[in-house]
Structure 1
Amino acid sequence: MNTDKEPSSALFKNGALWMLIAGFCFACMGALVKLGSEHFSTAELVFYRSFISLVIITVTMRLNGHSFKTHYLKNHLTRSISGTISLMLSFYAVAKLPLATATTLTYTSSIFLAILTFFVAKRRPSRHLFLSIGIGFLGVVVLLQPTIGNNHVGPFIIGLLSGFLAAIAYLNVKELGKLGEPSWRVVFYFTLTASFGAFLLMLTDKFHSVTGVGGLELIGIGASATIAQLALTKAYRQGQSLVVASLAYSTVVFSVIFSAILWNNSINWLSYLGILLIICSGVISVIASSGK
């Protein structure tokens, strides 16, 4: 019996719901990272986020009898290295840029993915999917209203590079899905690579002790990141890449809601317009993918 086989469901077949789950969990992780930044450095947050996720996925795989062995190590390494560098660059951008600007740059990955899909994967997406991505990104800009100063050019370029590498990672996730690699194995190799890379980065920074509250925040970051990565991987495995990419903007909507609840950040009419544009982007992508 093949214990690595993943069940499929018509409800999740286009990846839409998996991406919404991922978006919610990534927003939870982002809120916890913001809280955790009061107790830990960026390097430490990257390491704990990856290592706790690695422990969770490893234990889960062992308990369910899933195999760590793969015939596609090169593909995993390409996905893991590009994803790890993207993660580190995005954390750097968040540290150096206004949060709204850094978050917007993160979601340029959808635009880069559309370009890579056309030139690398040799597939011509429909006009509706391109429209969906454009509307979604416009919604992010309207919602977050990013700004950039003269001293932010370097971090800005690094943020863009993070989005580009994330798009490469997503293409590799899709390819691994076509090869039949299960989601948990994809996430395992990614978190293993990210933990090692982040550990080396952490050695160059100051180490902070883990307190009770800080420990709970780290566990929450690792757990939400694990669920988000699994859902993200399933979404790209089972759905069209550009549909999933457009629905990734849902993370921004959830993040704004969390900001309003946890930090009393106001939501003005521009914010509501941005949210509406993001929702329209998701609806267009789902309708386009279903052929309706």
Structure 2
Amino acid sequence: MQSVQSAPPRQRPIYALGLRLMAALVLSTLFMLVKFTAESGVRFPEILFWRQFPTIMLVLGWLAARGQLHRLKTKRLPVHARRALLGLTGMVFTFGAPLLMPLAESTALGFTTPVFAVILSVLLLKERVGAVRWLAVALGFAGVVIIAQPGHAVISPLAASVGLGAGFMVALISIQVRDLGRTDEPLSIVFWFAAISTPLLLIALPFFYTPHSAWQWFLLLSGGALGLLGQLLLTAALRYGQVASVVVMDYSSLVWATLYGWLLWGDLPSTATFLGAPVIIAAGAVIAWREHLLHRRSTPATASGGE
């Protein structure tokens, strides 16, 4: 991974936790809105386009009005491009999962992010991982099996795969965003993600566009605004806090997903979800706790040490 030497931002762990908690609420609302918008007749590729395009206009307009366009300057455009491609792929999974299953189930499968983060730390960062975190990984996937119940058609294999793909992509993207946050501010990271991914979505737009009602336009533009706010909160949380520490706040999104699912679709989590979700959450909490301990004990020279 490309690295640029720069003074890292001052860590503010409590502030980072608060930002991530707000992000969980905003993004839960966004996923609900995506599901609602798709069911109103808007096609999925166009939902993705309008999730990104308003970000460009809003960020440019706000910075131009303040005479601060220089804040978008970056020396790491190739890294931003890689993050944009990963982010676009991640959006397909994270927005696709709620369309294929109830909100609570898709949210619970998304909690596998810390589990995948451990695996990625071994594959990409060559970290040594000991018994505690490997047991947590096994526990997390046991929770997935409980929720999905393979062979019982509770959740289709496609839906389960997309839900797990969302958890994997968020873990991968978090590593990328954390690296970018060392040198670029959150507004710049969010802007370049939208600026690079929107032209790719624009190519597909003519094949999927349909006329919309005023209500559908409201849903699309609201999704874009919520997406911008959610990305700013997520990126800022990763700038001021460790990934392993702030990710525990994501579990609050299950409350919002359950509430939205019940109010709008009459869905309540299945018994399997009530049993499996705490198992996945427990696995993520163990991983976060262990990462926190390792971070406190480590120095920059020993931070990649084992369990």
TM-score category, normalised to shorter length:
0.7 to 0.9
Quick check: 1:183 aligned with 2:213? no
- Structure 1 residue identity aligned to 2:45: A
Corresponding residue pairs, total = 282
Tell me the equivalent position of 1:56.
58
Counterpart selection for 1:172 from 169, 176, 184: 176
- Read off the aligned partner of 1:202 and give its amino acid letter: L
Percent of matched pairs sharing the same residue: 23
Kindly report which structure 2 residues correspond to 1:1-292, keeping only aligned pairs within 5 A, or say none.
Answer: 9=12, 11-12=14-15, 15-37=16-38, 38-64=40-66, 65-66=68-69, 67-92=71-96, 94-95=98-99, 97-99=100-102, 103=107, 106-124=110-128, 145=148, 160-178=164-182, 180-211=183-214, 213-266=215-268, 288=290, 291=293
Q: Larger Cα Rg: Structure 1 or Structure 2?
A: 2
* 1:129-180 CA distance string (max 9 Å, x none): 66777767766776x657676xx656765665554444332211011112x2
| Matching residue's letter, 2:18 | L
When the two structures are superposed, what TM-score results if normalisation uses the length of structure 2? Answer: 0.74
Gaps of 5+ in 2: 1-7, 297-307
Aligned in 2, Cα 1:159/1:199: closer, same or farther, shift over 3 Å?
A: farther
Shift of 1:191: 1.3
Instruction: Read off the aligned partner of 1:43 and give its amino acid letter.
Output: P
Instruction: Note the residue ranges of structure 1 that are not aligned, 5 or more in a row.
Output: none
Give the C-alpha shift of residue 275 in structure 1.
6.1
Distance in 1 (CA, whole Å) between partners of 2:97 and 2:227 is: 19
How well do the aligned residues superpose, as a CA RMSD in angstroms?
3.7
Q: Which whole-Å CA distance do the structure 1 matches of 2:132 and 2:288 have between them?
A: 10
Deviates more, 1:229-238 or 1:200-209: 200-209
CA distance in 2, matches of 1:157, 1:278: 16
3-state SS in 2 of match to 1:203: helix
Query: Do the aligned partners of 1:98 and 1:147 also contact (CA within 8 Å) in 2?
Result: no
- Tell me by how many angstroms 1:8 deviates: 6.4
8 Å contact kept, 2:116–2:171: yes
* SS of 1:218 mapped into structure 2: helix
Deviation at 1:59, TM superposition (A): 2.4
Q: Return the offset for 1:93.
A: 5.2
Distance 1:279 1:153 in 2: 22
Alpha-carbon distance change, 23 to 279 in structure 1, aligned in 2, over 3 angstroms: same
